[in-house]
Amino acid sequence: MTVTTVQVRARSPIADGVRAGLPLALPNIALGISFGVLAAPVMGAGAAIAMSVVVCSGGAQFAAVSVLAAGGGALPAIAAGMLVNARWVAMGFAVGPYLPGSLRARVLQAQAIVDASFVIASRDDGSFDRGLLIGATLPQVSSWMAGTVVGVLAGPVLGDPDALGLDAIFVAFYLALLWEEVRRRGAYAAALGGGAIALVLLPVAPVGIPVVAAAAAALIGLRRA
């Protein structure tokens, strides 16, 4: 192996993405733990772990399980999970042009879309870095699954995750990501708009809708285009 290949490998966008995603691993483990603790009594240990592996989406999983826990039934639980994940349609349209290859390859790469990776991959000019997107998702997804296993196993010992403040981790997680983003030109106004839209819709719209609708605030970008 030559020195050149080592350098190339060290600079690969996917490796950069993994590095960017690593600080998010521990928060994701904590979130996974709280999901495991909450979900295991509702759906069973195996189902809780399986859900984190095949659905692999914090917000949607919490929404669906809280509907099931309240006795809401399967269809409302599925609807709640889908609505919470509807924001990924907007993200997919934004990222899509930067995913190369056949239709199948693009669809496969699109599975790397998660909130924090979308943010990390988002460039100032509106384009996206595919390598960062995929790389940053790897540590997050694996820590989310690992955390769920820990939560399922340790649930009886840990007690109520809300008593530990674990539900505030999502709040701080998204706020910390937003904190970096608002330095970008026009981002402050977009954030204020998105927050206001969500706040207005929260009391009236079904779960998930307030967040998808917040995406409309990005349209203020048209004013300077």
Partner 1 sequence: MSEAWLVIAALAVATIALKAAGPAMVGNREPSPRVLAVTGLLAPALLAGLVVYETLGAADGPGIELDARLGGLAAAVGALVLRLPMLAVVAVAAVATAVLRLLS
The DSSP letter of residue 161 is G
In the complex, least distance from residue 159 CB atom to partner 1, rounded to whole angstroms:
12
Residue from 91, 132, 133, 152 that binds partner 1 (CB under 8 A)? 91
CB 49 within 8 A of CB 37: no
Which residue, 6 or 162, is less far from partner 1 as judged by CB? Answer: 162
Residue from 33, 37, 64, 149 that binds partner 1 (CB under 8 A)? 64
Stretch that binds partner 1, among 4-12, 53-61, 139-147, 150-158 (CB under 8 A): 53-61
Stretch that binds partner 1, among 4-12, 37-45, 138-146, 147-155 (CB under 8 A): 37-45
Which residue, 97 or 156, is less far from partner 1 as judged by CB? Answer: 97
Residue from 15, 41, 45, 92 that binds partner 1 (CB under 8 A)? 92
Residue from 77, 133, 136, 152 that binds partner 1 (CB under 8 A)? 77
Residue from 12, 97, 156, 159 that binds partner 1 (CB under 8 A)? 97
In terms of C-beta density within 10 A (0-12 exposed, 13-18 middle, 19 or more buried), how is residue 164 classed?
middle
Residue from 66, 131, 142, 150 that binds partner 1 (CB under 8 A)? 66
User: How big is the site for partner 1, counted in residues (CB under 8 A)?
Assistant: 116
Q: What are phi and psi of 202, to 5 degrees?
A: -55, -45
The alpha carbon of residue 174 and the mean position of all alpha carbons in its chain are separated, in whole angstroms, by: 9
In the complex, least distance from residue 214 CB atom to partner 1, rounded to whole angstroms:
3
Which residue, 14 or 191, is less far from partner 1 as judged by CB? Answer: 191
Considering only residues 183 to 222 of the shown chain, the ones binding partner 1 according to CB under 8 A are 184, 186-188, 190-195, 197-199, 202-207, 210-222
Q: Give me 218's structure tokens.
A: 């990005």
In the complex, least distance from residue 221 CB atom to partner 1, rounded to whole angstroms:
4
Cα–Cα dist 119/24, whole Å: 12
Considering only residues 123 to 182 of the shown chain, the ones binding partner 1 according to CB under 8 A are 123-128, 162-179, 181-182
Q: Does 99 bind partner 1 (CB under 8 A)?
A: yes
**Alpha helices, H only, the chain:** 3-10, 13-21, 25-43, 45-54, 58-69, 74-85, 87-95, 103-110, 115-121, 130-158, 168-181, 187-201, 209-214
Closest CA to 51 of 32, 28, 25: 32
Closest CA to 207 of 90, 80, 85: 80
CB 198 within 8 A of CB 75: no
